Structure 1
Amino acid sequence: MLLRLTSKLISAVLLGGCLLAGPLLAAESAATLGGAEQERYLSELKRLYLTQDERQALLAHSNDLLKTYALSAAYQVGQAQRQDRLYQLRLGAPGELLLREETRNAQGTDIAVRNQRIALFGVDPFIRYDCPPGGISCVLFSPLDGSVLLSIVRDHQGAAELAKALSFLIRNLQKG
């Protein structure tokens, strides 16, 4: 009996540690990503998207990740209000990013579009994210005020990669 309780306690502690460590490690890796590793990451993106412009490569990569990890109605089995959420990023004025959010119901008949301007000068470039254990989605938070910026399908690696790409894109746009 004691052995079973001990193993349950150890499992709970390990599970809790893993759930907390994911976002913390992602934030830590993004924060420490610099120098040679940053150059390698950016050169891989430029090679992948066949451009010499870091900004264009980061924008294309971010948009591809948003398509890949889009939260579609098909992932929302059992939800009352199933809907597709599609996002697209564009460049605005210097130091500004434009986010387009398109929401469609499961039948595809009702479509709502929301455009948001994100002024990036003076904000922390590191994007935080969270993938709640009981949820079906991961959320990425706005660098402006910490509110929810966008929602993607629940995938820790996808959220980490998108947060990394957006963080680099924001840093690049802050250069002017």
Structure 2
Amino acid sequence: MVTAPLFAAEPEGGLSSAEQSNYLLELKRLYLTQDERQALFAHCNDLLKTYALRAAYQVGQAQRQDLLYQLRQGEAGELLLREETRGQQGTDIAVRNQRVPLFGVDPFVRYECPSSGISCVLHNPNDGSPMLTIVRDHKGAAELAKALSFLIRNLQKG
């Protein structure tokens, strides 16, 4: 059984500008900055650390590994995604960098948390392909999708 895709950052009727303003204000307060983009990057990266899919969660898997991500800004309208895969012993490390162009894409990040799995997948807003994999936590995936959606909107401004 698989759960239906969710649009975490798009509740019924969408977010009002007051909700958006309050959300961004809280993030700026939390990360002690006046820069929305800086607060959004800090929040997304903190969530990616908190909900990282670690080898310890992968009991019974043959190839247990840590899956870690970090986001940063690229060129105007571009998100840089760093994916690091570490073997169970911590000696095998593979790094993959991905550029995600954001101009002209729907900023709402879609995610899925299959009930039979150990992970949630957040999808690339460009083509719907898997972009990030985190530990299976509906609230964590919803918060990360929301923060990423706000970050994408912010980066689309240039």
Q: TM-score range by the shorter chain?
A: over 0.9
Find the counterpart in structure 2 of residue 69 from structure 1. Answer: 51
Q: Indicate the structure whose relative CO is greater, using CA pairs within 8 Å and at least 6 residues apart.
A: 2
CA contact (8 A) 2:10 2:108 kept: no
CA contact (8 A) 2:9 2:149 kept: no
CA RMSD after TM alignment: 1.6
**Alignment pair present for 1:51 and 2:61:** no
Picking from 148, 151, 156, the partner of 1:169 is: 151
Find the counterpart in structure 1 of residue 140 from structure 2. Answer: 158
* Structure 2 gaps, min length 5: none
Offset, 1:30? 8.1
**Alignment pair present for 1:93 and 2:93:** no
Picking from 9, 15, 23, the partner of 1:33 is: 15
Offset, 1:34? 2.4
2:54 and 2:139 map into 1 onto residues whose CA distance is 18
Find the counterpart in structure 1 of residue 84 from structure 2. Answer: 102
Considering fraction of residues, name the structure with more helix.
1
1:140 and 1:83 map into 2 onto residues whose CA distance is 19
Find the counterpart in structure 2 of residue 136 from structure 1. Answer: 118
1:70 and 1:143 map into 2 onto residues whose CA distance is 20
Offset, 1:144? 0.8
Amino acid at match of 2:91: T
What TM-score, normalized by structure 2, do the two folds share?
0.95
CA contact (8 A) 1:30 1:164 kept: no
Offset, 1:80? 0.8
Find the counterpart in structure 2 of residue 23 from structure 1. Answer: 6
**SS in structure 2 of the partner of residue 122 of structure 1:** coil
1:62 and 1:85 map into 2 onto residues whose CA distance is 15
Find the counterpart in structure 2 of residue 125 from structure 1. Answer: 107
What TM-score, normalized by structure 1, do the two folds share?
0.85
Considering fraction of residues, name the structure with more strand.
2
Deviation >3 Å, runs of 4+: none
**SS in structure 2 of the partner of residue 29 of structure 1:** coil
Offset, 1:35? 1.1
Mark the structure with the bigger radius of gyration: 1
The alignment of Structure 1 onto Structure 2 pairs a total of residues equal to 157
